[in-house]
Amino acid sequence: MDLLKPLIALLALVNPIGVVPFYIHFTRTLSAAERAHTIRVSALTVFAVIATSALAGLRIIEFFGISIASFQVGGGMLLLMSSLQMLNAQPAESKASAASDGAEKIDAGASIAVVPLAIPLLTGPGVISTVVIYAERASRWWELAVMVGYGAVIAGATYLAFSAAGRIAKILGRTGINVMTRLMGLILSALAVEIMALGLMKLFPVLAGRIGG
């Protein structure tokens, strides 16, 4: 197995810099400490997803009896819900949670860090399936260890990209962020439909075949 190909593929698929606008939107009402916590949780979640997919991805999928196509449909629905919020330039959390105490806001930031930032924006079905495919090709234990190490590299890239988001937000300003949020929401909605369509195209031929048989 060419050990550089998985890293290049994962960097292109995860694309932490491309997710920075979404991070700015979902964390714009959080304090600096809460955003720092969100960054750490996002990076750790990215590492956990990649490492788990490399070590036990196939077994987990088989255990629950699900397919990558089903994951695509579910992930696309999550993205579509997030895109609708962004098209209205709404913050991720409700007014009630915004008015709650600090501990609850930190929990909200951690929740945002996992869904939708880490899953499925950063590590969606494409990333998981890619890791599973390369892990299946690994013939030696150290090749799996390298795949897990790549998870740490991707997590580090995520941490650095999100840490620079504050400077990007200052340059854009509130109006610029709102415009960017709506534009990225439109793009995200199209991406969500694309992901769901790919999943449905994989699912419906299988279902049609079973019904016909």
89-108 tens-digit pLDDT? 654 443 334 434 455 555 55
Q: Tell me what percent of the residues of the chain surpass a pLDDT of 70.
A: 84
Please provide the average confidence, as pLDDT, over all residues in the chain: 79
C-alpha torsion 64→130→136→4, nearest 10: -150
Burial status of residue 147 (CB atoms within 10 A of its CB: 0-12, 13-18, 19 or more): buried
Q: How far apart are CA 41 and CA 135, in angstroms?
A: 25
Single pTM value for the model: 0.70
Residue written as tokens 């009402």?
29
Q: How far apart are CA 84 and CA 98, in angstroms?
A: 19
User: What average pLDDT does the segment 39-45 reach?
Assistant: 95
Between residues 133 and 54, the one the model is more confident about: 54
Q: How far apart are CA 177 and CA 197, in angstroms?
A: 29
Residues 6+ apart with CB under 8 A from 80: 189, 192, 193, 196
User: What average pLDDT does the segment 40-66 reach?
Assistant: 88
Q: Give the residue from 81, 50, 28 showing the smallest Cα distance to 191.
A: 81
| Confidence class for position 178, pLDDT limits 50, 70, 90 | confident
Q: How far apart are CA 201 and CA 206, in angstroms?
A: 9
Token duo for residue 113: 């860090």
Q: Give the residue from 213, 199, 201 showing the smallest Cα distance to 79.
A: 199
Alpha-carbon Rg for the chain, nearest whole angstrom, is 18
Q: How far apart are CA 131 and CA 135, in angstroms?
A: 6
Asked if 20 contacts 179 with a C-beta cutoff of 8 angstroms, the reply is no
